[in-house]
Homo-oligomer: A and B are copies of this chain.
Amino acid sequence: MKIAKAGRVAMSIEDSKYHTDKPHMDKSHLHYLLKQMLRIRHFEEKCAQLYTEQKIRGFLHLYIGEEAVAVGVMQTLSPQDAVLATYREHGHALARGLDMNKVMAEMFGKVSGSSRGRGGSMHIFDSERRFYGGNAIVAGALPLAVGLALADKMQGKKSVTVCFFGEGAVAEGEFHESLNLAKLWQLPVLFVCENNGYAMGTALAISESEQHVYLKAQSYGLQAQTVDGMNVVDVEAAAKQYCDAIRRGAGPHLLECKTYRFRGHSMFDTQLYRSAEEVKQWQDKGPIVKLQTWLQANKLLSSQQLQQIESEIEEEIEGAVEFAEQAEFEAESDLCWALYTEKEV
């Protein structure tokens, strides 16, 4: 189903530059994208609240404002593909299909959590879904992604490994080493740089002499482009184009998604490094408001449908909180379980 031409809203899905490669953008898929983004948004809003209630502790890094990136990219993946992310990975986990109950239980540190509660917000894992964390060392997952892709390639698998990281990670030596290795060995990796303009309080101009991450990637011979990370359709289209190429054997690619985090870096951030106006400007072009407004303007989303989506999400989140509340903490006696493998694998 072709999408009706946009009216007066800013976003123009028709004009999207991946016209030919555009994935199947029917109404139900757009509803699905919206729902996924809303799920993440509301899940995290709930988490923020639970944090003030001290149900969730430690560091909590919200993805609010950046949902289009994880949701868009994840659409192009199959279960055989592998995913790695950062400490800001609730969105990726949910978009990858992890059970929200388990994710919320993880936030609570409960044994029913996706990592038995041991990892918390920053370390959500699900090896069944090939979701390999949740890494709290900036750029720490990039070498792992190279290795996972190498293993897939050596085993003749057609999988893609997707590795998400912030633009702050680009300054780390691991970025450099990993891109070079991936290209040298023509590995099936999609690097996704979530360029939200800041690494904690450090603006990109303070951390990179070359501020176009996709240009940096090209200097390693990777195919790379920048995409509007606030536009889930653009993200999906670009990711699909790249994943298809990677599956055809074209080697690693990098997608730079221009985005913004609406909240502080973590719950401790006083945000002295940016103005409220700047935040407001970005919020106005947020990924959810953008898609939702466009759908509504084009009569592709009734208020009843939206209502339905919202209430399904609310129910899911309530269920997840309930699940997490009810869940047990891991017994202290199991503290050392799985430090090493019990028997041969």
Please determine whether A180 and B171 come into contact, CB atoms closer than 8 angstroms.
yes
Chain A 160-185, CB-CB to B under 8 Å as 1, else 0, gives: 00000000000111111101100110
Tell me the nearest residue of chain B to A178, going by C-beta: B173
Contacts of A174 in B (CB 8 A): 173
In the bound assembly, the distance between CA atoms of A221 and B209 in angstroms comes to: 6
- Shortest distance from the beta carbon of A80 to any chain B beta carbon, whole Å: 26
Q: Which listed residue, B173, B184, B215, touches A219 by the CB 8 Å rule?
A: B215
Which residues of B lie under 8 Å from residue A176 when comparing CB positions?
Answer: 171, 173, 175-177
Contact of A171 among B175, B177, B215 (CB under 8 A): B177
Q: Mark A203-221, 1 if CB is under 8 A from B, else 0.
A: 0001111100001101111
Q: Are B173 and A177 in contact (CB under 8 A)?
A: yes
Of all chain B residues, which has the CB nearest A216? B219
In angstroms, Cα B171 to Cα A171, docked, is 14
> How near does chain B come to A206, taking the closest CB pair, in angstroms?
7
With both beta carbons as reference points, the residue of chain B lying nearest to A174 in the complex is identified as: B173
Check A177–B172 contact: CB distance below 8 A: yes
Chain B residues with CB under 8 Å of A218's CB are 219
Residue of B nearest to A212 (CB): B219
How far, in angstroms, from A284 to B180 measured CA to CA in the complex? 33
B209 and A184 form a contact (CB under 8 A): yes
Copy count, this protein chain: 2
* A215 surroundings in chain B (CB, below 8 A): 219
Partner of A180, one of B208, B220, B221: B208
The answer to whether A184 and B172 touch across the interface, beta carbons within 8 angstroms, is no
Taking the closest CB of chain B, its distance from the CB of A6, in whole angstroms, is 37
Beta-carbon contacts of A180-193 to B below 8 Å, as 1s and 0s? 10011000000000
Q: Determine how close the nearest CB of chain B comes to the CB of A123; give it in whole angstroms.
A: 24
Q: Tell me the minimal C-beta distance from A293 to chain B in angstroms.
A: 38
A172 to B177, CA, bound (A): 6
Question: How far in angstroms is the closest Cβ of chain B from A205?
Answer: 9
Cα separation A175 to B184 with both chains bound (whole Å) = 18
- Could you say which of A209, A216, A220 has the most chain B C-beta atoms within 10 Å of its C-beta? A209
Q: Contacts A171-B180, A173-B172; is A210 near B216 (CB within 8 Å)?
A: no
> Given the complex of chains A and B, what is the CA–CA distance between A206 and B221 in angstroms?
14
Q: How far is the CA of A220 from the CA of B176 in the complex (A)?
A: 12
Q: Which residues of B contact A206 (CB under 8 A)?
A: 184
A residues at B contact (CB < 8 Å) = 171-177, 179-180, 183-184, 206-210, 215-216, 218-221
CB-based closest 8 A-B pairs: A173-B173, A176-B176, A219-B219, A183-B209, A209-B221, A184-B209, A209-B220, A173-B177
Beyond the given A173-B177, A209-B220, could you list 14 further A-B residue pairs with CB under 8 A, ordered by the A residue number?
A171-B176, A172-B173, A172-B177, A173-B174, A176-B177, A179-B209, A180-B208, A183-B209, A184-B208, A184-B209, A210-B219, A210-B220, A210-B221, A218-B219
Q: Can you list 22 residue pairs at the A/B interface with Cβ under 8 Å? A: A171-B176, A171-B177, A171-B180, A172-B173, A173-B173, A173-B176, A173-B177, A175-B176, A176-B177, A179-B209, A180-B208, A183-B209, A184-B206, A184-B209, A209-B220, A209-B221, A210-B220, A210-B221, A215-B219, A216-B219, A218-B219, A219-B219
